[in-house]
Each structure stands twice: as structure tokens, then as C-alpha cells.
Amino acid sequence: MNDQLDPSAHEWTQYDRLILFDGICNWCNTWVNFAIAHDPAGQLKFGTLQSEQAQRILHDLHMPTTDYQTFLVLEGRCVYTKSTAALRVLRQLSWWWPLYYVGVLVPRPLRDVVYDFVARHRYQWMGRATTCRVPTPAERERFV
């Protein structure tokens, strides 16, 4: 999915790259830690899908506001989901991680089948927290 958001309705369109993730998902939090560790320039910002701003975005995109089926990557006004979002994140990381962006050559429906399988089992595999992630003082500037 690649949608557009109205900048006048969504303040988060001001960020170049914003990842909105399920704040209680341990799998998602592990990937946020990974992204932070491999983004030394601090290009990526983070927010939880449970936040008020993210809830408005989900509502405007006609996406579930409680049973999260994907994380979102906002690049200005553009919104990416599922495997496309994951590949766009990898493209921004250091070292050889951007090479995985070649996966964009695989048709999106095939990529999203794999993404959906992982999304369905993430809580089962890694559990969930009782509250949303709280960034450490060192991470605080990376979170909106």
C-alpha cells in the first residue's frame, strides 16, 4: 500500500522517515532496536500505533485501529505498509542492509504473504508487553 496523507490534517507528515509500530509487540520492539542500532545518523523517527496521532492516520486510511496488521512507514506524505514498508526501512540502514531492497523486485502480493504470516504469529513467537514501549533517555529524541 502506498497512500498519501494530507499534511494539513497530520502533523507527522513533517518527518522525512517515521516508523509507526505496535508498541506492545515484542517482535516490533526488537526490530525498532535493530533499526536504531543500524541508523547511526538518526534518520529514522519512531512512534507507536497506539498514539493518538497514529490512530487518526489509521482511521483516515481505513485501517484497523486495534488489531494491527502492519506497521507504517511515513515518508513525508507517503505511507507504506507491510513488506514495502520493511524494505524501505532496510534501505535506510547502514552497512549492507540496503542491499535487501532488491526484494522490491518480488511482486508485492508474494512478499506480503510472507509478511502476513509473520504478522499473524508475532505475538505467539515473541509475546507482547502490557504497556507500550518507553524510550530510554538516549532514544527519546528519536521518538515522536
Tell which residue, 5, 123, 105, 99, has the closest CA to residue 54.
5
Q: Are 50 and 24 in contact (CB under 8 A)?
A: yes
Q: Are 48 and 22 in contact (CB under 8 A)?
A: yes
CA 76 to chain centroid:
14
Please say if the pLDDT value at position 30 is more than 90: no
CA 27 to chain centroid:
12
* CATH number of the CATH domain containing 57: 3.40.30
Q: Has residue 31 been placed in a domain?
A: yes
Q: Has residue 144 been placed in a domain?
A: no
Range with lowest mean pLDDT among 21-35, 56-70, 93-107, 108-122: 93-107
- Enclosing domain of residue 39: 2-137
Q: Please identify which residue in the block is written with the cell numbers 508475532.
A: 122
Provide the Cα torsion 139, 127, 22, 69; round to 10°: 150
Q: Has residue 22 been placed in a domain?
A: yes
Give me the mean pLDDT over the 36-42 stretch.
87
Total domain count, the chain: 1
Contacts of 84 (CB under 8 A, 6+ apart): 1, 2, 104, 108, 111
Give me the mean pLDDT over the 107-121 stretch.
91
Q: Has residue 142 been placed in a domain?
A: no
Confidence of residue 8 (pLDDT cuts 50, 70, 90): low
What DSSP designation does 43 have? Answer: -
Give me the mean pLDDT over the 20-48 stretch.
89
Residue 1: what pLDDT?
53
CA 54 to chain centroid:
11
